[in-house]
Structure formats: C-alpha cells, structure tokens
Amino acid sequence: MGKTVLVAGASRGIGLEFAVQYAADGWNVIAGCRNPEQARSWLPPSVDLQALDVTDSDSIDALLWHLNDKPLDLLIINAGVSGPDALGFVAPEVQAFDQVMHTNVLGPMSLVQAFGSAVAVEQGVIAVLSSRVGSVELADAANMLTYRCSKAALNMVVKTAACEFGPKGAIVVALHPGWVRTDMGGPNAHLGVTEAVEDLREVIGGLSAGSNGCFFDYTGRSVPW
Ligand SMILES: NC(=O)c1ccc[n+]([C@@H]2O[C@H](COP(=O)([O-])OP(=O)(O)OC[C@H]3O[C@@H](n4cnc5c(N)ncnc54)[C@H](OP(=O)(O)O)[C@@H]3O)[C@@H](O)[C@H]2O)c1
C-alpha cells in the first residue's frame, strides 16, 4: 500500500517540495492547497490534490470528510505566513495580527485536532514547520514581532499536541527548516529548497518515540524552546 503523507500548504516553497520528494519516493501524497488548480502543474499526477485553507474550518472539515478516517503515517503542517515586518518593536494592525495568528496558530491547532487520531493510529509523525525565531530562549532582536509571537505560540501547540497524541502513539515535533530560498525566505537565504527538504526528511525519518514534543532544526540538532 505504501505510506501516506498529508502536506498542509503544498502549493509553493517547502510544502511543495515535501510533496514532490515524498511522491518521488513512492509515498501516497495528499497535498492541501488553497488553490489546487494552480498547484496542479507543479505536482506529479499521482498526488491527491485537495483544496485546503487552514484558516477556514469548513475547508478542514471537507478534507476530513474526503479522507474518511484514512490512517496517516505523516502529517506535515507547513502552511505559514510571515506578516508585517519592521526593524523594531512595532505592534501590528488587528487585521494583520489576525491573519498571521489564524494561519500560523489556529490553523495548526485545527489540523492537529482533525487529523491527530489518524496519525496516532498509524504510530505516525506530526511535523510542524516552526522557526528558530519563535524560540523565546534565542530571541535576540525585536523585528518580525508578529511572526515571532505566532511561532512561539505554535511551539506551545506542538508541546500540547505531544501531550495529547504522544501517549496514543504519535510523535509530534516542531521543525526549524533553516533559512530557505522561498518566497518567504527570499533570494539571500542560505539553503536551497531541495536540500532543506532533503535534510528535514532525514530528520523526520530518524525520529523515535523519545522525540515526541521536541524541537529540531534541519540538521537534527535540538532548538531551545
Ligand atoms: N523559508 C524560510 O526561510 C523559513 C524559515 C523558518 C520557517 N519557515 C516556515 O516554513 C513554512 C513554509 O515556508 P516557505 O518558506 O515555504 O513559505 P512560502 O514560500 O511563503 O509558502 C507558504 C505556503 O503556505 C501556504 N499557505 C499560506 N496560508 C495558507 C492557508 N491559509 N491555507 C493553506 N495554505 C496556506 C501557501 O499557500 P498559497 O500559495 O495559497 O499562498 C504556501 O504554499 C512556513 O510555516 C514558514 O513559517 C520558513
């Protein structure tokens, strides 16, 4: 039958590359994208392309219905937005705050609630794309305030999901992908998307029960919370 992965946010960048690489390895790939018709040309025909807006509970419910309790070996929660940037400490407008928090925090919460049991039943992995800038311990600048706060909150989603679904058999982790050349990372980033995802897949492939509730970077090193 092969293994099954659901990638939430697979139209571009890191999420698209996860879908492409797992499909090339023979996995059954379900790719959740806001605009599936746009993503079709980038993804192999074997990929089950489904509409998914992580900020829309009806959209998550529709995907849940489509999957019909299908067990998942891997759930990759990748969808994310960076929101407004500023060099110093600048509070965001409400609309910008809501968009970042709904995408980066409420979306992952809803996805874990919807699909966590399908992963646990398969003793699978929930891999959540966080960022080292969400680390409270490593915080060293006031830029990207909203994004930083969203990833710090996302890290708590990971820890609490690990408490809920770890004892049921899942491994839940936060991953920092490095600084990657995508629309979000920009052209000056250190890592190409292909190598970043190859590294992340190696980290995911090496996880064990003891990894539940941990935060790793793309080299497999622990990141402090
Ligand atoms: N690139 C980096 O250097 C870096 C560093 C640290 C962490 N990360 C994290 O890694 C993840 C992927 O980043 P990336 O660099 O690949 O970003 P990206 O190139 O900007 O791509 C973001 C992806 O998220 C999707 N997305 C956004 N909002 C969504 C929503 N409401 N519903 C469904 N999908 C949605 C986008 O879909 P659309 O095409 O529909 O917009 C796109 O597929 C993010 O969580 C990011 O925070 C990236």
pLDDT digits (tens, 9 = 90+) for 16-43: 999 999 999 999 999 999 999 888 999 9
> In angstroms, rounded to a whole number, what is the distance separating the alpha carbons of residues 54 and 76?
12
pLDDT exceeds 80 at position 86: no
Decide if pLDDT at 129 tops 80: yes
pLDDT of residue 84: 86
- Atom index in ligand 1 nearest the CA of residue 38 equals 39
- Residue 126's pLDDT is 99
Residue nearest atom 32 of ligand 1, based on CA coordinates:
53
Fold of 4-217: Rossmann fold (3.40.50)
> What was the pLDDT predicted at 174?
99
Verify whether ligand 1 is closer than 6 Å to residue 63 (CB atom).
Answer: no
pLDDT-wise least confident of 52-56, 57-61, 86-90, 108-112? 86-90
pTM recorded for the entire structure: 0.98
pLDDT of the residue at 165: 98
Residues 38-83: pLDDT tens digits? Answer: 889 999 999 999 999 999 999 999 999 999 999 999 999 999 999 9
Rounded to an integer, what distance in angstroms lies between the CA atom of residue 118 and that of residue 129?
A: 19
CB of 54 sitting under 6 A from ligand 1: yes
Q: Report whether 190 contacts 177 (CB < 8 A).
A: no
Answer whether 214's CB lies under 8 Å from 135's CB.
Answer: no
Domain borders along the chain are 4-217
Q: Is 80 touching ligand 1 by the criterion CB < 6 Å?
A: yes
